[in-house]
Amino acid sequence: MKNEKIYLTEAPIKKLLMKFSIPCILSLLISALYNIVDQIFIGNSLSGTAGIMATTIVFPFTVVALSIALMVGDGASALFSISMGGKEKEVSQKCIGNSLTLMIIFKLLLTIIGFIFQTPILNVLGINGYSLDCRLYAKTYYTIILMGFPFYIFTAYLSSLIRADGSPIYAMIATVVGAVINLIFDPILIFVFNMGVRGAAIATIAGQIISALISIIYFKKPKLMNITKDTLKLDKHISKKILQLGISSFITQISIAIITVVANNVVGTIGGNHATDAGGALGIVFKVFAIVISFSIGVSVGGQPIIGFNYGAKRYDRVIETYKKILFVNIIIGLIVTILFQFFPKQIVSLFGGNASDFIFYQNYAVKAFRLYLGGILFCCIQKSSCIFLQSIDKPYKSMILSLTRDVILLVPGVLIFGLLGNLDTMLYAGIIADIGSFIITVIFISIEYNNIKDYKVVDTKKNNSSHFVITIGREFGSGGKYIGECLAKKFNINCYDKELLELTAKDYNLDLKTLENVDEQEKNTFWYGFASKYLDSKNEVLPISAKDALFLKISKVIEDLYHKEDCIIIGRCSNYILKDYDNVFKIFIYASDMDFKIERKEKFNNLTKKEAIKEINKIDKLRKNHYEYFTGVAWKDINNYDLCIDTSSVGIDDAINIIESYVKNKIN
Count the neighbouring beta carbons within 10 Å of the beta carbon of residue 7.
14
Statement: residue 108 has pLDDT above 90: yes
Q: What is the pLDDT of residue 162?
A: 87
Q: What is the residue-wise DSSP string for 591-614?
A: E-S-HHHHHHHHHHHS---HHHHH
Q: What is the mean pLDDT of residues 167-182?
A: 85
Residues 283-301 have pLDDT tens digits of 888 878 888 888 888 888 8
Euclidean distance between CA atoms 197 and 204, whole angstroms: 11
Q: What is the mean pLDDT of residues 328-351?
A: 92
Which of 186-195, 477-486, 541-550 is modeled with the greatest confidence?
Answer: 477-486
Helix (H) or strand (E) holding 586: strand 585-591
Q: What is the pLDDT of residue 275?
A: 85
Statement: residue 5 has pLDDT above 60: no
Task: Count Cα neighbours of 245 within 13 Å in the Cβ-side half-sphere.
Answer: 29
Q: What is the pLDDT of residue 504?
A: 87
Give how far Cα 154 sits from Cα of 116, 183, 252, 487, Å. Answer: 21, 20, 19, 56
Q: What is the mean pLDDT of residues 54-72?
A: 89
Map residue 615 onto helix, strand or coil. Answer: helix
Euclidean distance between CA atoms 84 and 88, whole angstroms: 6
Residues 221-277 have pLDDT tens digits of 887 677 788 888 988 889 988 998 888 778 777 877 888 899 889 998 998 888 888
Q: What is the mean pLDDT of residues 154-177?
A: 84
Arithmetic mean of pLDDT over the chain? 83
Query: Residue 519's pLDDT band (boundaries 50, 70, 90)?
Result: low
Q: What is the pLDDT of residue 55?
A: 84
Count the neighbouring beta carbons within 10 Å of the beta carbon of residue 521.
8
Give backbone dihedrals phi and psi of 356, rounded to 5 degrees, phi first. -65, 155
Euclidean distance between CA atoms 44 and 400, whole angstroms: 39
Rounded to two decimals, the pTM is: 0.57
Residues 425-484 have pLDDT tens digits of 999 999 999 999 999 999 999 998 888 787 665 545 444 556 689 999 999 999 999 999
Structural domains of the chain sorted by starting position, each given as residue range(s) with its CATH number in brackets: 33-455 (no CATH), 461-668 (3.40.50.300)
| Residue of 349, 395, 398 whose CA lies nearest to 370 | 349
Query: Residue 302's pLDDT band (boundaries 50, 70, 90)?
Result: confident
Q: What is the pLDDT of residue 525?
A: 39
Q: What is the pLDDT of residue 7?
A: 57
> Is there a contact between 635 and 237 (Cβ–Cβ < 8 Å)?
yes
Query: Residue 356's pLDDT band (boundaries 50, 70, 90)?
Result: very low
Give backbone dihedrals phi and psi of 526, rounded to 5 degrees, phi first. -65, -25
Angle in degrees, CA 138, 142, 146, rounded to 5: 175
Q: What is the pLDDT of residue 544?
A: 30
Statement: residue 81 has pLDDT above 60: yes
User: In terms of pLDDT, which residue wins out, 464 or 323?
Assistant: 323
> Is there a contact between 361 and 277 (Cβ–Cβ < 8 Å)?
yes
Helix (H) or strand (E) holding 412: helix 412-420
Euclidean distance between CA atoms 9 and 2, whole angstroms: 11
User: In terms of pLDDT, which residue wins out, 311 or 120?
Assistant: 120
Q: What is the mean pLDDT of residues 324-346?
A: 94
Euclidean distance between CA atoms 625 and 477, whole angstroms: 11
Statement: residue 152 has pLDDT above 60: yes
Q: What is the pLDDT of residue 227?
A: 79
Q: What is the pLDDT of residue 27?
A: 66
What is the number of residues in the chain? 669
List, in sequence order, every residue forming a beta bridge with 474; answer none if it has no partner.
589
Query: Residue 546's pLDDT band (boundaries 50, 70, 90)?
Result: very low
Residues 560-573 have pLDDT tens digits of 889 988 999 999 98
* Percent of all residues in the chain with a pLDDT value above 90, rounded to a whole number: 38
List, in sequence order, every residue forming a beta bridge with 569; answer none if it has no partner.
471, 496
Angle, nearest 10°, between helix axes 236-270 and 377-392? 160
Burial degree of 129 (CB within 10 A; 0-12, 13-18, 19+): buried
Statement: residue 523 has pLDDT above 60: no
Q: What is the pLDDT of residue 260?
A: 85
List, in sequence order, every residue forming a beta bridge with 473; answer none if it has no partner.
571, 588
Query: Residue 509's pLDDT band (boundaries 50, 70, 90)?
Result: low
Query: Residue 315's pLDDT band (boundaries 50, 70, 90)?
Result: confident
Q: What is the pLDDT of residue 121?
A: 95
Residues 403-435 have pLDDT tens digits of 788 888 999 999 999 999 999 999 999 999 999
Q: What is the pLDDT of residue 31?
A: 65
* Percent of all residues in the chain with a pLDDT value above 70, rounded to a whole number: 86
Map residue 527 onto helix, strand or coil. Answer: coil
Q: What is the mean pLDDT of residues 310-321?
A: 81
